[in-house]
């Protein structure tokens, strides 16, 4: 085809007025219209993307849908041979290949071959060689249209029709017939009506067109309209055909309306049409889908009787197709195989499709051996396996995790000259992608290109998934950008491997999970420029990723921006929004999201894990927002939906357990009576006593609400004989975290009164409670009591007391406890030594800290980053720059990673006495770790090196240059804030105070 040629002209055609457009299309159109010069290559690429992305999504079956047609402004094609000629000479073999691909509905391969044929087409001039074929241009377009029709691609067929119209290709009744057939297969009544009216206006009158209109409405589920079209056929004087009634029969039967379907058969007989095999088969399939195999067999008996009456090839094929559909409708692979055996028992000859659907059923269940056994049976019966059969076998291998065998099956297909299609390759690529093997997936994509099989976005997504699974989100982002940066192949043919919204969602979600906020924003911008609109799924994936990376504020920011952009709501997105709000401690905002879903009448999931997660989030949100009654209502809805019983046996407890707990914790502040009722409901659902739930409630009551209520619940546990040291230890820890030390001591003593012997964990809990409150004497007392009770303190016990000494500036006592610990036979760990070193360096006892670090290494303990950092910073504070640098370098050699403040202290130590060489050396090491120096480091380094040497270093190292710029920017920002808050910018105010001379004329004004 001709190449892009830019012309500052009006559009060459406008098929239909543009009723609506997306924001991305408007931006793209505005960009080209505002440009006074020729559009850039990027603009052309963006326009091509929009040409292929201009169609809206139909909502509802059989209802009107809005279609967005982009005006093709400023871009057109030079006149080609296809615009000037009615007949062309093409290669016979290429045309046969195109016809074969079209019959199979392989649109991507057919489209590539179609473009190749057009590019090599010649004017018919003289004799046509035997290897060539002279065809009307309309036949070539009609063959390509057949590919779209067999694939059910309404959009592709529509675009092919617009292209044919622009290039003056005659559109006869057959051409319109293919367009109508495409729309009818997809159940697209809007496009079916459009093409029917256009065909009628063009003077075409074909009974087949009426048949397609009936089929379109039947597929769309508008059965009354379908029946009206049968009457319109009669009114137009066009004879009705059997297929019209078959469409209605199948539509009624698939909806379980068997009486209505049987009524259509009677109507057929009245019209003089004999029901075909497919008529009865439709009823059999519907019965099988309802699980009534006996009724299905009765209908198939009538179908077989009809086959015997006909005794022709079409009846045989219809019978095979019926059994294929019956096997597909089966709920288990064994049931699917039973229909295959019934076909054989009645004397029927199974086709490759009959076997393939059964092989696929076993493959999806991971029953590899059975699938391979059926394939061997096919060979024995001389039924050659098809590409679909092999694809099913490969799916079974990949599901079983045997990827090498799947790849071997693919190679075997090529050895027997059965060319694998994109689906076959995609099956194996998906397996490698899920296993996180990007190299294998990329290798297979290269094989596809070498074999002339188009690599579509589905295959590219497998590569992205493999990179993500392999933990390489940055590589996935680079690959995605390479996909989006490719120029379109032609005006009409968009790149088939161009990223879709799922591509962006997958990579952006992986980057969000890795905490790469800036990378996510960059990809989001690239997606907008490409004209791809974000979906609720993409927003959910990104926010879930941020939550996983503990970037809760970024998740909330994304939620706010998405909401401001006018996203469409669904239950999954609202559930994610609630979780984001809860993680950001914004329960009231989450509650508003819950109200929005009710106001918009958005259906809430009532089955599966999604429903469980939604109701848990709803109950938690209500409980934390303080509306416990609403939370109780949501919990009752979940119980009424049977979510507990539905998921029973899939894990410990019941799925809604988190919702029960959230509600009980909310009622703990309001009503102990209701709390106990909810607890009883939970334990009734679990059919056992939930000790963990009772433990959590006792913790909450004891640490934050009421000792009395906690004791009531404790008595219940005691009555059940389930008291344990674990329960009391958790309660003591909860009181400690709440800062209620006396309450922690009470529960420790209560444990002893209940006859529960404290273990090491319980003793450590009470010691830690006193230590955290700064009650050093009591902590040491409890440690003594622990030793006296016969319970041997462990390393944690001593570490608590040593840490307390470090925080209270008692280094000598910390050393004494370390010595006592060693004498008791307890071996200190790296935390012990690091804590003592911290205590020593805080007291400027650097040499003692160094000795402690050396001792730590001599006893064979792992080198501790905190211990090294304390020694280096201690030496830096003491002005011992060379020693600090030596320990810093040793720290790096040990594989430890010093943070920026450690380097900063060494640089600061080089100030007095001045040591610019060492300061520069340390600064280079800091910048080599890609850590950004702060203002203190930059200013100190500038003073030590001097302006000239500092400028030279800044010019050499870009990171330092950036750090200086950021420091200067922050300095100006702070100065601006100080100026905004200075008294001279505010109106003079009277100072409050006693005595005279405090009037407005005495206000202290700071000079600028």
Q: What is the pLDDT of residues 639-695, one digit of tens each?
A: 888 887 644 444 455 788 888 888 888 888 878 888 888 888 888 888 888 888 888
Contact 932, 966 (CB under 8 A): yes
Place of tokens 């092989």: 359
For residue 91, the 8-state DSSP code is: E
User: Distance between CA 489 and CA 613 in Å, rounded?
Assistant: 45
Contacts with 444 (C-beta within 8 Å, 6 or more apart), sequence order: 407, 425, 428, 429, 432
Phi and psi (nearest 5°) for 633? -65, -45
- Closest to 396 (Cα-Cα) out of 367, 423, 420, 432: 367
Whether the predicted pLDDT of 489 surpasses 80: no
Whether the predicted pLDDT of 147 surpasses 60: yes
Which of the residue ranges 340-344, 709-713, 791-795, 833-837 would you say has the lowest mean pLDDT? 340-344
User: Distance between CA 324 and CA 326 in Å, rounded?
Assistant: 5
Q: What is the pLDDT of residues 759-768, one digit of tens each?
A: 888 898 889 8
Contacts with 292 (C-beta within 8 Å, 6 or more apart), sequence order: none
pLDDT mean across residues, the chain: 78
User: Distance between CA 1003 and CA 991 in Å, rounded?
Assistant: 7
Between 280 and 551, residue with greater pLDDT: 551
Q: H or E segment at 106?
A: none
Q: What is the pLDDT of residues 720-749, one digit of tens each?
A: 888 888 989 889 888 888 888 898 899 988
pLDDT of residue 410: 79
Which of the residue ranges 58-67, 283-292, 312-321 would you say has the lowest mean pLDDT? 58-67
Per-domain residue ranges for the chain?
4-78, 80-170, 604-688
Contact 519, 474 (CB under 8 A): yes
pLDDT of residue 836: 92
Contacts with 515 (C-beta within 8 Å, 6 or more apart), sequence order: 546, 549, 550, 551
Q: What is the pLDDT of residues 68-123, one digit of tens each?
A: 222 323 333 333 444 444 677 788 888 888 888 888 787 877 888 888 888 776 65
Whether the predicted pLDDT of 60 surpasses 60: no
User: Distance between CA 455 and CA 462 in Å, rounded?
Assistant: 11
Whether the predicted pLDDT of 7 surpasses 80: no
Contact 380, 396 (CB under 8 A): no
Q: What confidence category does residue 452 fall into, taking pLDDT thresholds of 50, 70 and 90? A: confident
Nearest 10 degrees: Cα torsion 891, 894, 895, 898: -10
Work out the percent of the chain whose per-residue pLDDT is above 90.
12
Distances (CA, A) of 64 to 121, 191, 579: 40, 9, 36
Which of the residue ranges 19-33, 253-267, 639-653, 687-701 would you say has the lowest mean pLDDT? 19-33
Task: Report residue 342 CA to chain centroid gap.
Answer: 44
Work out the percent of the chain whose per-residue pLDDT is above 70.
81
The mean pLDDT value for 542-556 works out to 94
- Burial category of 449 from C-beta neighbours within 10 Å (exposed 0-12, middle 13-18, buried 19 and up): exposed
Provide the H-helix boundaries in 535-646: 536-548, 552-564, 571-583, 587-599, 608-625, 628-640, 643-646
pLDDT of residue 788: 87
User: Distance between CA 746 and CA 94 in Å, rounded?
Assistant: 90
pLDDT of residue 580: 95
pLDDT of residue 62: 35
Q: What is the pLDDT of residues 378-409, one digit of tens each?
A: 878 877 777 777 777 777 777 777 788 778 77
The mean pLDDT value for 176-202 works out to 89
SS3 791: coil
Whether the predicted pLDDT of 443 surpasses 70: yes
Place of tokens 């793209």: 28
Contact 905, 923 (CB under 8 A): no
User: Distance between CA 659 and CA 662 in Å, rounded?
Assistant: 5
Contact 872, 888 (CB under 8 A): yes
The mean pLDDT value for 690-706 works out to 87
pLDDT of residue 590: 93
Backbone CA torsion sign across 572, 577, 582, 586: negative
Q: What is the pLDDT of residues 453-487, one digit of tens each?
A: 888 888 899 999 999 999 999 999 999 988 877 64
The mean pLDDT value for 245-271 works out to 80
Q: What confidence category does residue 540 fall into, taking pLDDT thresholds of 50, 70 and 90? A: very high
Distances (CA, A) of 143 to 104, 147, 153: 12, 7, 14
Between 11 and 873, residue with greater pLDDT: 873
């Amino acid at each position: 085809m001709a190449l892009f040629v830019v012309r500052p002209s009006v559009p060459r055609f406008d098929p239909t007025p543009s009723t609506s457009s997306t924001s991305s299309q408007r931006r793209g159109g505005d960009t080209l219209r505002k440009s006074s010069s020729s559009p850039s290559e990027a603009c052309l690429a963006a326009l091509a993307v929009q040409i292929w992305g201009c169609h809206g999504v139909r909502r509802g079956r059989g209802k009107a849908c809005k279609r967005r047609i982009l005006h093709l402004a400023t871009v057109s094609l030079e006149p080609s041979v296809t615009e000037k000629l009615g007949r062309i000479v093409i290669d016979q073999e290429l045309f046969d290949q195109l016809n074969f691909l079209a019959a199979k509905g392989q649109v991507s391969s057919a489209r590539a071959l179609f473009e190749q044929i057009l590019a090599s087409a010649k004017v018919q001039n003289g004799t046509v060689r035997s290897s060539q074929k002279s065809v009307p241009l309309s036949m070539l377009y009609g063959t390509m249209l057949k590919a779209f029709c067999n694939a059910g691609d309404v959009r592709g067929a529509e675009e092919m029709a617009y292209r044919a119209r622009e290039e003056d290709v005659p559109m006869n009744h057959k051409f319109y017939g293919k367009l109508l057939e495409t729309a009818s297969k997809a159940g697209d009544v809007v496009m079916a009506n459009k093409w029917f009216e256009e065909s009628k206006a063009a003077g075409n009158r074909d009974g087949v067109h009426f048949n397609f209109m009936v089929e379109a409405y039947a597929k769309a589920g508008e059965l009354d309209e379908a029946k009206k079209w049968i009457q319109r056929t009669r009114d137009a004087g066009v004879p009705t055909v059997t297929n019209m009634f078959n469409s209605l029969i199948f539509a009624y039967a698939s909806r379980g309306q068997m009486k209505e379907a049987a009524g259509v058969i009677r109507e057929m007989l009245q019209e003089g049409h004999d029901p075909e095999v497919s008529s009865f088969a439709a009823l059999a399939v519907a019965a099988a889908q309802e699980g009534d195999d006996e009724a299905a067999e009765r209908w198939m008996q009538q179908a077989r009787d009809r086959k015997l009456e006909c005794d022709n090839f079409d009846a045989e094929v219809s019978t095979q197709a019926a059994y294929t559909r019956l096997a597909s409708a089966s709920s288990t692979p064994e049931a699917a195989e039973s229909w295959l055996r019934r076909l054989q028992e009645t004397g029927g000859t199974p086709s490759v499709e009959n076997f393939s659907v059964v092989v696929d059923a076993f493959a999806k269940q991971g029953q590899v051996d059975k699938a391979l056994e059926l394939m061997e049976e096919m060979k024995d019966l001389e039924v050659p396996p098809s590409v679909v059969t092999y694809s099913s076998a490969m799916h079974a291998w990949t599901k079983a995790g045997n990827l090498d065998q799947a790849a071997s099956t693919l190679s075997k297909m090529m050895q027997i000259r059965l060319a694998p299609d994109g689906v076959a390759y995609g099956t194996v690529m998906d397996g490698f992608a899920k296993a996180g093997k990007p190299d294998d997936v990329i290798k297979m994509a290269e094989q596809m290109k070498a074999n002339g099989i188009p690599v579509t976005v589905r295959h590219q997504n497998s590569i992205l998934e493999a990179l993500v699974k392999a933990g390489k989100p940055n590589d996935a982002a680079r690959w995605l950008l390479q996909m989006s940066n490719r120029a379109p192949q032609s005006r009409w043919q968009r790149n088939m491997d161009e990223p879709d919204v799922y591509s962006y969602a997958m990579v952006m979600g992986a980057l969000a999970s890795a905490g790469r906020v800036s990378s996510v924003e960059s990809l989001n911008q690239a997606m907008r420029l490409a004209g791809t609109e974000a979906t609720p799924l993409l927003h959910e994936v990104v926010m879930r990723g941020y939550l996983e990376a503990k970037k809760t504020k970024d998740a909330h920011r994304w939620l706010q921006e998405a909401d401001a952009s006018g996203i469409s709501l669904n239950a999954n997105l609202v559930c994610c929004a609630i979780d984001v709000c809860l993680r950001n401690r914004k329960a009231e905002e989450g509650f508003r999201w819950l109200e929005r879903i009710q106001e918009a009448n958005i259906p809430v999931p009532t089955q599966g894990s999604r429903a469980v997660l939604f109701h848990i989030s709803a109950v938690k949100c209500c409980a934390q927002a303080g509306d416990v009654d609403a939370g109780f209502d949501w919990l009752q809805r979940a119980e009424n939906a049977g979510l507990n019983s539905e998921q029973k046996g899939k894990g410990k407890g019941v799925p809604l357990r988190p919702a029960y707990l959230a509600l009980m914790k909310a009622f703990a502040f309001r009503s102990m009576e209701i709390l106990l009722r909810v607890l009883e409901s939970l334990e009734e659902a679990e059919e056992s006593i939930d000790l963990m739930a009772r433990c959590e409630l006792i913790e909450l009551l004891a640490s934050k609400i009421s000792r009395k209520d906690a004791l009531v619940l404790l008595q219940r546990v005691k009555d059940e004989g389930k008291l344990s040291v674990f329960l009391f230890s958790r309660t003591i820890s909860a009181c400690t975290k709440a800062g209620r030390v006396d309450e922690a001591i009470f529960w420790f003593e209560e444990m002893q009164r209940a006859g529960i012997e404290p273990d090491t964990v319980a003793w450590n809990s009470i010691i830690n409670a006193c230590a955290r409150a700064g009650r050093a004497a009591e902590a040491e007392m409890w440690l003594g009591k622990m030793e006296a009770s016969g319970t041997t303190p462990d390393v944690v016990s001593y570490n608590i007391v040593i840490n307390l000494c470090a925080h209270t500036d008692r280094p000598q006592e910390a050393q004494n406890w370390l010595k006592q610990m060693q004498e008791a036979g307890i071996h200190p760990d790296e935390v012990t030594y690091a804590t003592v070193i911290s205590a020593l360096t805080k007291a400027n006892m650097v040499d003692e800290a160094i000795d402690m670090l050396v001792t730590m290494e001599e006893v064979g303990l792992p080198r501790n980053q905190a211990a090294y950092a304390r020694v280096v910073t201690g030496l830096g504070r003491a002005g011992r720059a060379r020693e600090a640098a030596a320990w810093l370098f040793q720290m790096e050699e040990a594989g430890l990673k010093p943070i920026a403040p450690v380097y900063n202290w060494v640089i600061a130590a080089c100030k007095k006495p001045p040591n610019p060489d060492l300061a520069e050396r340390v600064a280079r090491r800091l910048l080599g770790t890609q850590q950004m120096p702060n203002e203190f480091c930059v200013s100190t380094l500038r003073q030590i090196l001097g302006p000239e040497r500092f400028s030279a270093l800044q010019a050499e190292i870009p990171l330092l240059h950036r750090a200086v710029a950021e420091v200067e920017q922050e300095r100006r920002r702070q100065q601006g804030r100080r100026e905004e808050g200075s008294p001279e910018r505010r109106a003079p105010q009277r100072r409050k105070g006693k005595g005279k001379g405090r009037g407005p004329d005495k206000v202290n004004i700071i000079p600028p």
